[in-house]
Structure 1
């Protein structure tokens, strides 16, 4: 059986966790505690040379990192519902279009805004670098506006790549949870994005909410009034 190494504090870890639960692909779920730096141990380096999560070790010993590569590998080997990654070449290309767009255009600014505004000050004890946070906020808002106005260009567009949910939607939704932990509401003034997020969450529950228990606790601890 494939071993899946993850921590639900990691956005791509959550996305793959939800996908595996939704599709019932056989896997052994193994938590790697990022807070305890378990990913930086020599033991884990033997599993993933980059010492990051998520990653997998398949039943034959094959090792793979990077969430999108893992997703494509899993869909190639398992009979999963076609909506997640269509067999039709053009429909699949539309999912791939977002998967490639995601890394620098959504993940980078959302993650770095969260880290600069909340995580780094919390770990270091130093004050927030407001100048750096403002720069990442500007990039993040450009990306959020692109999701609202380009990817979801009309109220009739239900999901990012098609009329059915795909892995692109899970990956994007999990990423948008990060700024919420740093007192920023990504859906404020973006009604299409909010409606899309609600559809993604509804389509993937109860697993979506289960994957975000820790994130929700952080948001509540930071104070909903600040969102």
Structure 2
């Protein structure tokens, strides 16, 4: 039975796993979950598809697995996933894991929070946060991106050095999402701009395919309802 990927490209982790599967040529069935209609929050969904009720997740026969990073590690063990995506060498894998652990409370936290507060919540509820809160979140975001440049983009064109890996996809899809909230890191951080261009070039056409919805949402100006 072919691997099944349950995802919504509105979700950053979904985009990262989708791109990886497309690039690795692992056959998979596309199972789109519409987060906007909240189908993932039903009791039936929890009982038949995923108890965690988040995307992405996979079904590999009778085996079910959530969480994008866990999925990558599973694919590296069970499928012919190219070593460059998630290294098998212990030291190189540890460096990949170092970034993925750092990412949780840095890029993931700050990019997702800014996206949620500045775009997602106003877009779906019409509720806006104060200018003061937005400014604080922006300061946190830019401090994080500055640290990212300094710590992880100083030893080559990619996070782990000269070769692209899954950690680049994971980070890039997160940073791209803030464009929907009218913040493009390319305009403020030269190293990130070059790095994003490199990641996109290495991952196309899957990269652009996964970001169609993000590109569409950047043209939407969210305003308070009168």
Common fold, TM-score beyond 0.5?
A: yes
Q: How big is the shift at 1:100?
A: 1.0
Q: How big is the shift at 1:131?
A: 2.9
* 1:170 and 2:169 correspond: yes
Aligned equivalents of 2:142, 2:128: Cα separation in 1? 23
Find the counterpart in structure 2 of residue 77 from structure 1: 78
* 1:114 and 2:115 correspond: yes
Aligned equivalents of 2:101, 2:202: Cα separation in 1? 23
Alignment of 1:6-17 (within 5 A): 6-17=7-18
RMSD after superposition: 1.4
TM-score (norm 1): 0.93
Q: How big is the shift at 1:71?
A: 0.7
Q: Which runs of 5+ in 2 are unaligned?
A: none
Q: Residues 159 and 169 of structure 1 are in contact (CA less than 8 Å); yes or no, is this contact kept in structure 2?
A: yes
Q: How big is the shift at 1:166?
A: 0.4
Q: Residues 109 and 136 of structure 1 are in contact (CA less than 8 Å); yes or no, is this contact kept in structure 2?
A: yes
- Cα deviation 1:126-167 (Å, max 9, x = unaligned): 23333332232222111110122221126xx11001211000
Find the counterpart in structure 1 of residue 134 from structure 2: 133
Find the counterpart in structure 2 of residue 180 from structure 1: 179
Q: Residues 118 and 128 of structure 2 are in contact (CA less than 8 Å); yes or no, is this contact kept in structure 1?
A: no
- Cα deviation 1:151-198 (Å, max 9, x = unaligned): 1126xx110012110000000000011211101121223111110100
- Cα deviation 1:33-72 (Å, max 9, x = unaligned): 001111112222121111100011111x111111000110
TM-score (norm 2): 0.93
